[in-house]
Structure 1
Amino acid sequence: MAYRAIARSVAVCAAATSALGALAALGAGSAAAASGSITWTDGSSQFTRTISDVSPAEGETVTVSTQFARNSIVDEYIYNIKDRHPACMTYVDGSAKMSNGTTDYPYANPEVVADEGNGGGYVRVSFSATNWPVMNRPLAHQSPVFSVQYKVGHDCARGTALTTGMDYGGSLGSGLYPTKGPSITVGKSTSTTSLAPVTDARVGQAATLTATVTGGSAGDPVNFFDGTAQIGSGTLDATGTATAQWTPTVKGAHSLTAKYPDSASATGSQSAAVAVQVADQNATSTVALAPVSDAQVGRASTVTATVSPAAAGGTVELLDGTTSLATIPVDAQGHAAYQWTPATSGAHTLTATFSGRDGVTGSTTTVTVSVADAPSGATASTTTLAAVSGAQVGAATTLTATVSPASAGGTVTFKDGGTVIGTATVGSDGTATLQWTPATAGQRTVSAEYSGAGTVNASSDRTSVVVGGGTGGTGSFAGLGSLSGGK
């Protein structure tokens, strides 16, 4: 039959209309699918449109089907179908199919338009003139059913009736029913909220609170509470995470929760309570540098920093101007000492910075030291650091430095990178040894700094050491060179 482009209008008196589509629940999704169906007639044609769940939740898949039937002996052939859906719902690939009641015929490549610009999209399929005859009702098995599936998206409005419909063209004309329905009302998502553990909380010190929400949207607020008192708020990012800074004012036990309030897309939720023990406020430290009166180019002088309150823990970094000289562990008396060998005369600004330790804040101090020229007639020295092999994490390794001239005396400071390992006295044979227990694996630079003594100037050497992870031997590199007369 020839195609007649005659637009049909929906009959005022439909044969039967189900109100299920209009009565979709407005709650947070449905525990069981609530299908909706509408039947209407247009001339001698009858259409039944069914949606498997008219009140779905975000992420669920709904099936939309339309049955075509005739109550006339005149057959109609369907040429094309355009199934209309809300733009926030996504077509499920491969789901479009036509069924004649006994056999399903998938439609592999429908035309899919996600959004026409009017808040709706469609899936369109076309058939040949001899496919899918719609015959009179007694031959119901020949009344074809077109079905398609959509997935409910996050950006679907909640609690709002979203229209669906369909258009089609056939041998007897065309039918335009873009809002016939049933409508779909997406319920709010059910949210969950969790609060990450909070560690190292301390009075007067900011701690980061981190909440994770499922079901929410980026930009939604999350509020944090200590008991019933709100202590901060944040907004969800794209990963569903919100953070806030909390500075406790009272030590002791605290019970923290995170609350996600009702939003346009999800129901509210609250995390389980997280118990947090807040420690007392950090004690304030001071660090002082003892006067250095004998500083001289090429000779080591002892620089001593004293931390108060005195106790072992933390480190002191010593700088000459902007140059880091060493990082020294603080001992039980609060002292950190270093053998400093100036390379130039004149005024030097020494800075000692205490890192702080558990319960104690950091601090810093600065002094100016006058460095004299090197004495005339001084003797140059050489320091040689023996190659280190077989170093392993957690195992003691002997470091050996040899100073020439051998009878000079003085001390050798050994360093792992910039951190002082310890100091050893140079023996009568010119050697100084120290036990070193590496804490981390990998390639390290170990150095030996000779202090100088009497008329003998300072010198240094360094070597590269490969430290194994504690499961076997590793190689090492030879010394990187002896630096006579200074560092």
Structure 2
Amino acid sequence: MSVGSARRVVGGVSVFAVAAGFVAVAGVGVAGAAPVTAEGNVHGYHVVRTISNGTPSVGETITVKSVLTRTGSLEYLQQVKDVHPDCLTYVTDSAKVDGSVIGRDKVEVAADYAKISGSWAVYWDGGLINPKYRTVEFSYTVGAGCARGVDLTTELHVSGTLGSGQLKGVGPSISVAKNVSTTTLSPASGVQLGQSVPLKATVTGGADGDSVEFLDGGTTIGTGTLANGVATLAWTPTGVRTHTVTAKYLGNTKVATSTSSAVDVVVSEADKSTATTITGPTTADAGESVTLEASVSPVPVGGTVQFKDGTTDLGSAVTVDANGKASLTGSYAAGEHSIVAVYSGSGLYQTSTSTPHTLTVAPVVVEQSTTTTLVGPSSASTGEELSFTATVSTGAAGGTVQFKEGARDMSSPIPVDALGKATITPTFNDAGEYNITAVFSGSGNFLGSTSSVQTVKVAAPAPVDQQTQTVLTVPANAKTGTAVGLSVTVTPAPSGGTVQFKDGSGTLGSPVVVVDGKASMMHEFGSVGTHDITAVYSGASGFLTSTSAVQAISVTDPAAEDQETSITVSAPASATKGAKVDLAAAVVPTLNGGTVQFMDGATPIGGPVAVVNGKATLSHAFTEVGDRRITAVFSGTDGYLGSETQAGVTVKVTAEPGTGAPTGSLGDLGAIFGS
């Protein structure tokens, strides 16, 4: 490829500039269309390429015409490929050679090129035989996807019977013009200084999210964003004058900017709003002189205030003084009056009306005396809720009663109800004597009055005895003639009292003293059958009586084919008072069932212990020092008779080290002291 040139035809005048080895010409064509031309040499051809408009708009159709003049020997031109930006779309049936349309079967179209195929003879330009050149045309529609304002290049590829070549870097290029936009600014009138003005610009051709700049003269006053073709700006102008305001759409990558016509916004001085208030008494008697004062703010220059009772004028309008005040003095008839003050306005100061001022005027009446009677308890307990009722002789609602204990108010004043009564329900937490009075406030033409003193003596309540619960523990089975252990636990553990064990309605022995909440006894049943056993706790100081639930014991005759048993007991030879040791019993034959009651002499140790694999074990701490004789009683079970140990074991219980008296004999003491 040889060095070529490019040109843009401008009103019939060509201006050349050398750049990158080819010549370019720029200008504005007729009716806004500016053709662009490029020249170059390729594969024995001198090529002149012309695009009908170098700055087309979206949707416009442009034509690319290439004139190929043969500079070498004869060649049959077979293919011409026009390469273009992929945002251009080939126009069907626009491919032509020397003005003749090329059949569609000879045209190949892709995203970025259009190519024709055939056979066209082209003779040497210096010879006598024609044609010496061929003119090839392609037309395209400019798409919306084209970038705007940037050079989009084109090129030409040719091939024939003598070879092929590519005309690159020559072009010409096109630059797609941005879409046209228009901006219109809505007028604004009646604008006052310090007030916000909504400026509204309407843009055609823009996109949501684009920016519109608002200007006061040449100064930017803010920016709005397009939404549905409209951008707004809340503007608070400064200065009392005429402001020349424009709106400039800033465009985007595909849409050109546009500026609205100027709109004159006349800003005048703002009216001043005012507020009017009334001060004065809210109550009066009929015929009493009352003065009401109206205040206007900010303090205006001039104007009047018209006082009104509802819709009726009260006298003439009163001139507002230098302090913004006006007053009215007069008397009113009995009843409720709603007074307003209406400021007339003056100059820039706007009119205003006060909120209603309520004046309640009472008729002149003759006051009547009253009596107040107080009724309430004369004695009570601390913490008890009491009730004191005051009755006022009016016998009707109105006024309040202030209950007092001595000089102290017992609560807030209590309204008198429709029956002329008021009640308070105090609670006194400290024992003592309290002097209560009721003071009626008075109401309407009824005068106030005070009751006589009601004295109430408050004492601490007597203590309440505690509830108790008695739980009975007995074996499920027993044999006639064999003692079994019965025991109870009383909770909470009382101080004193006894437990009476009972078989049905009959008693079992004498009452047993309760120690640390526990009591137990041994008992032999003399008859077979089911015995319903209960335990009745007698109660004690501060503790109430209680009865256990019924526990059934099945008593059988040991002579009825039951197998005899024997029981032996074992225990350590010595123990320390308060320290637990294990007591063990062995039942022969080895069995499961029944219980073992360990005994300290004749006193049961704890409750019955179940026999498992012929053994029963109890952990026990002795509470007294000395020799303790330990035995055990087996209750028997189904098929086995009860039994007792034939010989017990002795456990020597001593005091804890360092406590109690020496455990040695007098002889030992003599040895110690040498006597």
TM-score, scaled to structure 1? 0.43
Q: Which has the higher contact order (CA 8 A, sep 6+)?
A: 1
Q: Under a length normalisation based on structure 2, what TM-score does the superposition of the two structures give?
A: 0.32
Whichever of the two has the greater Rg, that structure is: 2
